[in-house]
Amino acid sequence: MTDPRTAHIRNFSIIAHVDHGKSTLADRILEKLGAMGERDKRDQTLDTLELERERGITIKSTPIRLEYVQEGGERYVFNLIDTPGHVDFNYEVSRSLAACEGVLLLVDASQGVEAQTIVNAYLAIDNNLEIVPVINKIDLPAADPEGAAAELEEVIGIPADGAVFASGKTGQGVPEILEAIVKHVPPPTGDPDAPLKALIFDSFYDAYQGVILFVRVLEGTLRPKDAIRMFSNGKDFEVDKVGTFTPGLVVGDSLIAGSVGWVAAGIKDIHDAQVGDTLTSREHPTDEPFPGFKPAQPVVFSGLYPTDTEDYRKLREALEKLKLNDAAFSFEPETSEALGFGFRCGFLGLLHAEIIQERLEREYDLDLIATAPAVVYRVTLTNGEVFETQNPAEFPTRDRITLIEEPYIKLHVMLPETYVGTVMQLLQERRGVMETMNYLGQHGRVELIYEVPFAEILYDFHDRLKSISRGYASMDYEQIGYREGDLRKVDIMVNNEVIDALAVIVHDTKTYSLGRKIVDKMAEVIPRQMFPVPVQAVIGAKIIARATVKAYRKDVLAKCYGGDISRKKKLLDKQKKGRARMKQFGTVEVPQEAFLAVLSTEE
């Protein structure tokens, strides 16, 4: 039974493949419902929460509460909940979706169904959501709305005749979308008088208020002064303030079952209140949490070292600050023989890693050497011990290992038929195993589903896929667990010394080609010395590839004939700058680029 207090609430999200027009359509909906420009107005009033506005990034994109008045005068509250758009954050997407009863599934009418459309639609289906299909960008000359709708029906089983045709650009179809939300997205269920149960679907850390939780109340009512408890860890807090999003954070009196809002409860550590956890009451705790909670698990690891060893403390402080606001990011001290003191950092994926590194460099003014990203391997030793390692430098020697397992993903690729051959070849090179191939619609499009080792798509797979399909293929994936892998550790030696931070784990069939690629790239990027420097890839004691950094011939300054002082200075400055991102090994300097040689895309 729907409570009359919540019968007019609609909680929904918009999901789409990247660039299918999600932000544009959301803006159009906001505009239509009069929410544009509200942000600035509201933020000046006194009932908004005082937040740290420094840098602007502290505040994530919040859900938005909108009011929709139907033609007959019926009033509805729409909570539009934003979801991250990248596979690294699919768990967060799934939690945000769990706060909704329905989704608008956007498909670009000129592109049709893409890989992310499918994966997102499955996330919605897994969360039992009502899907409102929207065929977007119908104003485009190349639009084929009927074709896109038919494809959606064929691939995901969503009836084509239910699709709304719209354009975020012209606003066409937006009124129909609003009506479809009222009609097809069910109102939330849940008893406002039952004991409290709320899902945390997002959070951020604020210097004044502590952690602000974004919640969907499932049962009961949340009020200031309530004693609350985190289901997973049993930690207790007292609610300080609750409220809604407009999208500024507006303070309110209570949040009843079915509603979406925020809670501040003096929580100082974001790890105490993680996304996906259930919030309940201390007096009447629920015995059943919202299902599927998993603490954020980093899946990609990389070492971060300051180029200047003096910056170690500064780096630690910066990492601590970043961690405050990001429960998915982890770090622990690590020592490398080659690089000295640094940190092993865990990320949700490469994009997440890039974001964090970029922030460390830009916001905290740090110069870093990052080691090549690695996945987490599971190793069974001959003595029966099983452990997980994400640092190739720590990989045990072959004679101590009985079994190595590596993480696998299920990969969805959508592409035009013409490229099937080349893409399948690429997938085979990446040790992919085909699960399904589906031919779709009349447009000659194909869906490939493969199981592939995560490490194989980590670096350059997406770029390669795009380039061999001239941009037409799209991909998305999900983690599916561990499989046995015949893997080897390849060490890299520079000037006859092993540099531990350069070690990589490679499949047995690829040690030679990868070793070759790394040493060639390194020989190219290491600055020349007065003497030739050998760079070698080795497995155990066996050298599998070798290249040489040739000896220096000319002085850079020789070109300047001693006359042009400013030019000379510029050159020296340039050299100095380059040096900032280098690490000295004996007399040889190894630049950052060399540490990422394994990522270089030349095949």
Ligand X SMILES: Nc1nc2c(ncn2[C@@H]2O[C@H](COP(=O)(O)OP(=O)(O)OP(=O)(O)O)[C@@H](O)[C@H]2O)c(=O)[nH]1
169 vs 579, which CB is nearer to ligand X? 169
Q: Is 21 annotated as a binding residue?
A: yes
Q: Is 23 annotated as a binding residue?
A: yes
Minimum distance of ligand X from residue 23's CB (angstroms): 3
354 vs 429, which CB is nearer to ligand X? 354
169 touches ligand X (CB under 6 A): yes
Minimum distance of ligand X from residue 55's CB (angstroms): 21
Spatial distance between the Cα atoms of 522 and 536, rounded to a whole number of angstroms: 10
Q: Is 19 annotated as a binding residue?
A: yes
Minimum distance of ligand X from residue 178's CB (angstroms): 16
Binding residue for ligand X, selected from 2, 23, 189, 357, defined by CB under 6 A: 23
Q: Which stretch binds ligand X (CB under 6 A): 14-22, 366-374, 473-481, 541-549?
A: 14-22
Q: Which stretch binds ligand X (CB under 6 A): 161-169, 176-184, 376-384, 405-413?
A: 161-169
The residue type at 359 = R
Nearest to 363 by CA among 411, 319, 409: 319
Spatial distance between the Cα atoms of 519 and 537, rounded to a whole number of angstroms: 7
Binding residue for ligand X, selected from 63, 102, 112, 168, defined by CB under 6 A: 168
Q: What is the DSSP string of 454-521?
A: HHHHHSSHHHHHHHHTTT--EEEEEEEEEEE--EEEEEEEETTEE-GGG-EEEEGGGHHHHHHHHHHH
Number of residues that bind ligand X (CB under 6 A): 16
Binding residue for ligand X, selected from 137, 323, 344, 412, defined by CB under 6 A: 137
Q: Is 323 annotated as a binding residue?
A: no
Minimum distance of ligand X from residue 166's CB (angstroms): 7
247 vs 298, which CB is nearer to ligand X? 247
Minimum distance of ligand X from residue 86's CB (angstroms): 9
Minimum distance of ligand X from residue 116's CB (angstroms): 9
Nearest to 208 by CA among 266, 258, 160: 266
| Residue with the CB atom nearest ligand X in the bound state | 21
Spatial distance between the Cα atoms of 229 and 214, rounded to a whole number of angstroms: 15
Spatial distance between the Cα atoms of 267 and 261, rounded to a whole number of angstroms: 17
Q: Which stretch binds ligand X (CB under 6 A): 22-30, 213-221, 451-459, 543-551?
A: 22-30
Q: Is 2 exposed, middle or buried (0-12, 13-18, 19+ CB in 10 A)?
A: middle
The DSSP bridge partners found for residue 162 are: none
Query: Scanning the structure block, which residue is given the tokens 């608008």?
Result: 104
445 touches ligand X (CB under 6 A): no
CB 192 within 8 A of CB 221: yes
Q: Hey, which residues between 242 and 281 contact ligand X (CB under 6 A)?
A: none
Spatial distance between the Cα atoms of 140 and 307, rounded to a whole number of angstroms: 50
163 vs 324, which CB is nearer to ligand X? 163
Minimum distance of ligand X from residue 85's CB (angstroms): 4
Binding residue for ligand X, selected from 9, 10, 21, 319, defined by CB under 6 A: 21
Minimum distance of ligand X from residue 106's CB (angstroms): 7
Contacts of 236 (CB under 8 A, 6+ apart): 227, 228, 229, 282
Distance (Å) of CA 437 to CA 158, 415, 423, 427, 431:
20, 11, 12, 13, 17
Q: Is 578 annotated as a binding residue?
A: no
Binding residue for ligand X, selected from 8, 32, 58, 140, defined by CB under 6 A: 140
Minimum distance of ligand X from residue 25's CB (angstroms): 6
Q: Which stretch binds ligand X (CB under 6 A): 41-49, 118-126, 135-143, 201-209?
A: 135-143
462 touches ligand X (CB under 6 A): no
Q: Is 397 annotated as a binding residue?
A: no
22 vs 184, which CB is nearer to ligand X? 22
Binding residue for ligand X, selected from 11, 12, 20, 352, defined by CB under 6 A: 20
Q: Hey, which residues between 31 and 90 contact ligand X (CB under 6 A)?
A: 85
Binding residue for ligand X, selected from 62, 83, 167, 390, defined by CB under 6 A: 167
Query: Scanning the structure block, which residue is given the tokens 């407009």?
Result: 246
216 touches ligand X (CB under 6 A): no
Contacts of 413 (CB under 8 A, 6+ apart): 115, 423, 427, 447, 448, 449, 450, 465, 473, 474, 475
Spatial distance between the Cα atoms of 411 and 476, rounded to a whole number of angstroms: 6
Q: Is 570 annotated as a binding residue?
A: no
The overall longest dimension of the chain from CA atoms, in Å, is 88
480 touches ligand X (CB under 6 A): no
139 touches ligand X (CB under 6 A): yes
**DSSP tag of 63:** P
Q: Which stretch binds ligand X (CB under 6 A): 165-173, 215-223, 340-348, 586-594?
A: 165-173
171 touches ligand X (CB under 6 A): no
22 touches ligand X (CB under 6 A): yes
What is the 3-state secondary structure of 209-229? CEEEEEEEEEECEECCCCEEE
151 vs 206, which CB is nearer to ligand X? 151
Contacts of 575 (CB under 8 A, 6+ apart): 556
Spatial distance between the Cα atoms of 238 and 344, rounded to a whole number of angstroms: 35
Is the torsion defined by CA of 117, 118, 123, 126 positive or negative? positive
Binding residue for ligand X, selected from 2, 3, 8, 24, defined by CB under 6 A: 24
108 vs 405, which CB is nearer to ligand X? 108
Q: Is 20 annotated as a binding residue?
A: yes
Compute, in degrees rounded to 10, the torsion defined by CA atoms 153, 475, 82, 266.
140
140 vs 539, which CB is nearer to ligand X? 140
Spatial distance between the Cα atoms of 105 and 134, rounded to a whole number of angstroms: 6
Contacts of 441 (CB under 8 A, 6+ apart): 112, 147, 150, 151, 154
**Binding site per annotation, positions for GTP:** 19-24, 136-139
Please enumerate, by residue number, every residue annotated as part of a binding site: 19-24, 136-139
Binding site for ligand X (CB under 6 A): 16, 18-24, 85, 136-137, 139-140, 167-169
